[in-house]
Amino acid sequence: MKNKSLVSINDYKKEDYFKILDLAEEFQKNPKQRLLENHVIASLFFEPSTRTRLSFETAIQRLGGKVIGFSEASNSSVSKGESLKDTILTVSRYADLIVMRHPVEGSARYASVVSDKPIINAGDGSNQHPTQCLLDLYSIRKTQGTLENINLFLVGDLKYGRTVHSLLMAMSEFNPVFNFVSPPTLKMPQEYKDFLDEKGIKYYEHDDINENIKHADIIYVTRVQRERFSDPMEYEKVKNSYVIKNKMLEGTKENLRILHPLPRVNEIDTDVDANPKAYYFEQAENGVYTRMALMCKILGVK
């Protein structure tokens, strides 16, 4: 893994992910390890993403590393018309590792081709966001004790949500059962269902959240965005069908945990927050440990 960019969740092997998750666990027990004291890490956010940026920067600071970078393109030389290639070629001469978020798809892969320093993709448009997937895997393993044989409910926008696609691909290694709950217009795309068919993995599709959630080990909720609907009436009709409420969780499994990549709007009612099955803020915290582990592995300090 040393010096190897992470652009897409398929770039690393299963064993690599286990190494990262194991190290993340170590950091959760003892976060104060100044392993990156002699490192400079660039955090290039060509589009704003407060949560992901703060998570990465917290991870770097906790490890004693130094951060350079910008939080949106208007604060950078991009606003003067500089190409991505030139920005990356320059910054790769300053920093040991580049974390980047960019609205253009494939930009992180391109940066990894151009740069002689490793790249971590912190999101490239609707394409990939592999560290989100890593922290999701970490959260599932942490709460269930295993990644194997999980009954996973994916709820919300399953058509455009890149996090659910990456999670589906990654979890497919571990013999899961998938349940897809989405508005008819935002269903899981056929290519992913074909992928599951090929692998012989079971999945079920539902139009609403029903009593089936009693079988769930994990409910992974994503935001249904208004702008995905060409007809605003259609949005109004479906928006409340995909909201998790505390009452629905009666009779669900003890080990059930609710995950959400955040930010949440209204798809998980705030009355769920106090339920011990709510796990989304811990999940966000796990992102810091997972990113600490990933950066240490790539920089070869652990």
Partner 1 sequence: MKSELKVKAIEKGTVIDHIQASNLYKIMSIIEIEKLDTQIFIGNNLDSQKYGKKAIIKIADKFPSMEDVNKIALIDPNAVINIIRDYQVVEKKKVELPETVSTFIKCINPKCITNHEKVETKFSVHVKDGKVNLKCFYCEKTTGQDNIEVIR
Choosing from 24, 63, 84, 238, the residue that interacts with partner 1 (CB under 8 A) is 84
Rule CB under 8 A: say whether 125 interacts with partner 1: yes
Choosing from 71, 128, 139, 143, the residue that interacts with partner 1 (CB under 8 A) is 128
What part of residues 6-25 is at the interface with partner 1 (CB under 8 A)?
8
Choosing from 5, 107, 131, 179, the residue that interacts with partner 1 (CB under 8 A) is 107
H/E stretch holding 123 reads strand 119-124
- Per CB under 8 A, which region of 97-105, 227-235, 246-254, 278-286 contacts partner 1? 97-105
In the bound state with partner 1, the residue whose beta carbon lies nearer, of 69 and 130, is 130
- Per CB under 8 A, which region of 50-58, 77-85, 92-100, 264-272 contacts partner 1? 77-85
Q: Cβ–Cβ contacts within 10 Å for residue 175, how many? A: 14
Rule CB under 8 A: say whether 127 interacts with partner 1: yes
Q: Cβ–Cβ contacts within 10 Å for residue 152, how many? A: 22
Q: Using alpha carbons, select from 223, 224, 190, 218 the residue that is nearest to residue 205.
A: 190
Rule CB under 8 A: say whether 55 interacts with partner 1: no
The DSSP call for residue 126 is T
Query: Omega into 261 within 30° of 0, i.e. cis?
Result: no
Q: How far apart are the first and last CA of the chain?
A: 11
CA 112/CA 119 separation, integer angstroms: 6
Q: Using alpha carbons, select from 129, 115, 172, 118 the residue that is nearest to residue 8.
A: 129
CA 167/CA 54 separation, integer angstroms: 22
Least Å distance between CB 271 and partner 1?
38
- Amino acid identity of residue 49, one-letter, is S
- Per CB under 8 A, which region of 98-106, 206-214, 232-240, 265-273 contacts partner 1? 98-106
In the bound state with partner 1, the residue whose beta carbon lies nearer, of 109 and 142, is 109
Rule CB under 8 A: say whether 106 interacts with partner 1: yes
In the bound state with partner 1, the residue whose beta carbon lies nearer, of 46 and 138, is 46
Q: Provide the binding-site residues for partner 1, judged by CB under 8 A.
A: 8, 83-85, 103-107, 109-110, 124-128
